[in-house]
Amino acid sequence: MKKVINDPNGVVSEMLEGMVLAYPEKLRQLEGTTVLVRKDAPVTGKVAIVSGGGSGHEPSHAGYVGRGMLDAAVAGEVFTSPTPDQVYEAIKAVDSGAGVLLIIKNYTGDVMNFEMAAEMAEAEGIKVAKVIVNDDVAVENSTYTTGRRGIAGTVFVHKIAGAKAEKGASLEEVEAVANKVITRVKSMGIALSPCTVPAVRKPGFEMADDEMEIGMGIHGEPGTERTKMKTSREIAELLVEKVLAELEFTNGEEAAVLINGLGATPLMELYIFNKDVAELLKQKGVKVYKTFIGEYMTSIEMAGLSLSILKLDEELINLLDMPVDVVGW
């Protein structure tokens, strides 16, 4: 295992400290917690948005803390849900009285711990709403999940719900637009190599040099099949077909596209893949309004990528275009 770290069991705390040192004008850490909040939290009169999950997916989720997106992100240990107490501290720190929306990726530990934290906060008189993101179309039920997994499409939920909250919308309105995005965003990924959890010190699985995994999860959960390596065009054809099968586009409807690297995929390859995706979507009558390319939700140093497509309408376009001041967008 070759990693630029100190203590394998201290990577999360040192990472968070490093982020705050890099962006002190944007972020602060709640003392004694793994919670990063926006510098000016709580923001008077604004619905607060809290998300989080296991570390190892950076820039998710702390990279989306700031004006226009999240008010707080809660970091668990690598690939491990944060505890209810940590989420509870985040809720308390950002609530201004307008309520708090929890954006939860659909993993059993995350759902259970965020829901427990919500109950703790509600017992203190804080108004809390919850949405669960399940954008991964690859598999139903997995190692960590009942139902479909939440992956990179979650970032679109952060962006659009965050914009709605920044405009002064009510908790009910912010929750509604978050759920609207969840119904309209679908994703699927592929992996070319495993990743290594620092404390484990060895790869989570083995894969031959000429193999790839279709539909692998962001924690290394198995996908739908392992195949021989395919070209970018072949991968694009597969993922576009699977994702569009879950979305009903009529000719000319607009979409936002997210090409997400999983940690070790060069931008060169992401841009090649995007060329193929863009050509396929054009053939299918889907108009790409905006494309986002880069690392948005990684899996430590896994090689691979995911494709997320968000079906847009006028409201979602306006919220997607609103300015943000965060590290990772």
- State residue 185's pLDDT score: 98
Cα distance between residue 208 and residue 193, in whole Å? 8
Same domain, 114 and 245: no
Kindly state whether residue 325 falls inside one of the protein's structural domains: no
Go through 48-77 and write b for each residue having 16 or more CB atoms within 10 A of its CB, e for each that does not: bbbbbbbbbbbbbbbbbbbbbbbbbbbbbb
Same domain, 84 and 52: yes
Same domain, 191 and 175: no
Of 184, 216, 251, the one marking the end of a domain is: 184
**Mean pLDDT, residues 189-202:** 95
Cα distance between residue 90 and residue 69, in whole Å? 15
pLDDT band at 329 (very low <50, low <70, confident <90, very high): very high
Percent of the chain surpassing pLDDT 70: 99
Same domain, 85 and 113: yes
Same domain, 22 and 150: yes
**Mean pLDDT, residues 234-261:** 95
Model pLDDT for residues 255-289, shown as the tens digit of each residue: 999 999 999 999 999 999 999 999 999 999 999 99
Greater confidence (79 vs 251) lies with: 79
Question: Based on the structure, what is the number of domains in the chain?
Answer: 2
Residue 200 pLDDT > 80: yes
pLDDT band at 236 (very low <50, low <70, confident <90, very high): very high
Give the residue numbers spanning the domain of 113.
Answer: 8-184
Kindly state whether residue 327 falls inside one of the protein's structural domains: no
The token duo for 262 is 């999983």
Residue 252 pLDDT > 90: no
Give the rounded distance of the alpha carbon of 315 from its chain centre.
21
- State residue 296's pLDDT score: 98
Kindly state whether residue 77 falls inside one of the protein's structural domains: yes
Contact 148, 223 (CB under 8 A): no
Same domain, 308 and 175: no
Same domain, 162 and 14: yes
Q: Which residues are catalytic?
A: 57, 219
Of 184, 204, 237, the one marking the end of a domain is: 184
Identify the CATH number of the domain in which residue 91 sits.
3.40.50.10440
- State residue 253's pLDDT score: 87
**Mean pLDDT, residues 199-205:** 92
Cα distance between residue 12 and residue 316, in whole Å? 34
E strands in 135-217: 185-191, 211-214
Same domain, 159 and 134: yes
Kindly state whether residue 64 falls inside one of the protein's structural domains: yes
pLDDT band at 222 (very low <50, low <70, confident <90, very high): confident
The per-residue pLDDT of the chain, averaged, comes to 96
Residue 251 pLDDT > 80: no
Same domain, 213 and 90: no
**Mean pLDDT, residues 220-237:** 95
pLDDT band at 27 (very low <50, low <70, confident <90, very high): very high
Kindly state whether residue 194 falls inside one of the protein's structural domains: yes
Considering the entire predicted model, what is its pTM?
Answer: 0.97
**Mean pLDDT, residues 98-102:** 98
- State residue 146's pLDDT score: 78
Same domain, 148 and 40: yes
**Mean pLDDT, residues 191-207:** 94
Residue 163 pLDDT > 90: yes
pLDDT band at 198 (very low <50, low <70, confident <90, very high): very high
Identify the CATH number of the domain in which residue 299 sits.
3.30.1180.20
Kindly state whether residue 326 falls inside one of the protein's structural domains: no
Kindly state whether residue 281 falls inside one of the protein's structural domains: yes
pLDDT band at 207 (very low <50, low <70, confident <90, very high): very high
Of 184, 210, 226, the one marking the end of a domain is: 184
Closest CA to 244 of 230, 255, 231: 255
Least reliable range by pLDDT among 129-138, 216-225, 240-249: 216-225
Same domain, 176 and 190: no
Model pLDDT for residues 131-158, shown as the tens digit of each residue: 999 999 998 877 667 789 999 999 999 9
Same domain, 224 and 76: no
CA distances 248 to 140, 284, 298, 305, 306, Å, are 20, 11, 28, 23, 20
- State residue 285's pLDDT score: 93
Model pLDDT for residues 284-314, shown as the tens digit of each residue: 999 999 999 999 999 999 999 999 999 999 9
- State residue 271's pLDDT score: 98
